[in-house]
Structure 1
Amino acid sequence: MITPIVVQFPLKGEWLSPNTPGTKIPSHGTNQLGTTYAYDFIQVDWNRAGLPAYRASPLQYLFCGIPLNEYYCWGQKIYAPCNGTVVAAEDGYEERARTNLFSDFLNAYKNARYFDPAKDDARSIAGNHIIIECGESVYAALCHLQSGSIQVSVGQKVRKGDFIGRIGHSGNSFAPHLHFQLMDSCDITVANGLPCAFEEYEVYRNGKWHTIKNGIPASQDRIRFLG
């Protein structure tokens, strides 16, 4: 087994990772676009049945869609997971104003089937995104950011824990979330995914928070990082 690269958790507060290499590899069902060991992070209401990621009712989601500001994680701050240099900071890609099960599914299907890296804009997949060079042939990609939220520019040096942007719903996104991955190239269209663990976070089990060191969250874990 490849030893994972350890970085800092890129968010603060409580989170759920519905797609994670802690449960399956490849975590997103494909090795393309560097996603082999990628994570998705959302916030949910732990006290509601089904753990919804939004304040509205499931019926509203199915029939009308949900405005982005009804999602718990939309607009939440994202932090640099490592010391490094920003090599990409793509902003200005418009977010859809609300989620819609039918149109978001069609968008995902179209991108999965017809995306051509030779001619298509990578933002149609990654949305607004930041890529940080963390080390030799190690790049951290943080995708689907809120339009206008990116705080860094290409060539800028960042330190672990710096505020760099906010969670959004841009690109190939079913709902507001952070897509996070490590990869071996700054070009998402050709990159291979790299295994990644987080240097410290907490997991809620049996009524208590337990500290995890150099861990890989599973899809059912209630994760907390306070920074």
Structure 2
Amino acid sequence: MNTEDKPIIAAFPLRGEWLSPNTPGTKIPSHGTDRFGTRYAYDFIQVDWKRKGRPAYRVSFLHYLLFGVPLKEYCCWGQNVYAPCGGTVLRAEDGCEERPRTHFLSDLVNAYKNAHYFDPAKDDVQQVAGNYIILQCGKNVYAALVHLQKGSIFVTPGQKISKGDLLGSVGHSGNSFAPHLHFQLMDSSDIATANGIPCAFEKYEVCQNGVWIPVSNDIPTNKDKIRASPQSF
């Protein structure tokens, strides 16, 4: 477990098999920065484990480079997202358009622009977060689920929720290089100014040599093939 402080334990917010290319189990800060509360944040994608390079899309790599990829061709786009904790919905921001397809160069330009020119004092945080949900999970503990699919959010501000409740769907809104779920815990409900909080998952499984091994209260690395433990839902 590679964290600097004792992590808070949360439920794994997805179903099915996933990979975390950016995780505090491999490096901290997991996203290369402390901005926007991302110090201990996770990104989750689904990939084709049988194809070379483990692509997250169903088309060829050449097709991706030349033409881009429609969102429907991504393995995880539209997958359900579940509450990692019980608590209260503080924010549920929807309506942000998703770019209809990924394209390497345009997505790279978009990511560069947001990384270098986003000003939290004057710019809308949806420019970075896209469609997102913020939950209050405890005293000074807030969960953010980011880049959700437009029109997919099921909850509203002020709503009480339980761990495992359906929240929305994986999308490609905001500063997203490809469809994925960005998940983090933080010490404030304001993504623009929050500090990240370490988080581990209470029950999940890691596939080792074709066998699913139960794991408790731990943090996946960027090489782990993981899924929520059946006992967790």
Q: Is the pair's TM-score, using the shorter chain for normalization, greater than 0.5?
A: yes
1:199-227 CA deviation, whole Å, 9 max, x = no partner?
00000112211000001000000001143
Question: Please, which of 55, 59, 77 is the counterpart of residue 56 of structure 1?
Answer: 59
Aligned to 1:222: 225
Aligned to 1:95: 98
Aligned to 1:183: 186
Aligned to 2:30: 27
Identity %: 67
Question: Please, which of 138, 144, 150 is the counterpart of residue 147 of structure 1?
Answer: 150
1:91-128 CA deviation, whole Å, 9 max, x = no partner?
00000000011111000000000000011010110000
Residue type of the alignment partner of 1:137: N
C-alpha deviation, 1:2, in angstroms: 1.0
Aligned to 2:138: 135
So what's the TM-score if we normalise by structure 2?
0.97
Following the alignment from structure 2 to structure 1, what is the Cα–Cα distance between the partners of residues 166 and 221?
25
1:30-49 alignment runs, 5 A limit: 30-49=33-52
Following the alignment from structure 1 to structure 2, what is the Cα–Cα distance between the partners of residues 46 and 215?
23
Which blocks of at least 5 consecutive residues in structure 2 are unaligned?
A: none
Cα RMSD for the two superposed structures: 0.6
Following the alignment from structure 2 to structure 1, what is the Cα–Cα distance between the partners of residues 22 and 210?
24
Question: Please, which of 68, 71, 74 is the counterpart of residue 71 of structure 1?
Answer: 74
Residue type of the alignment partner of 2:128: I
Question: Please, which of 168, 171, 193 is the counterpart of residue 168 of structure 1?
Answer: 171
- How many corresponding residue pairs? 227
Question: Please, which of 9, 13, 36 is the counterpart of residue 10 of structure 1?
Answer: 13
The ranges of structure 1 where at least 4 consecutive aligned residues each deviate by more than 2 angstroms after the TM superposition are: none
Secondary structure of 2:84's counterpart equals coil
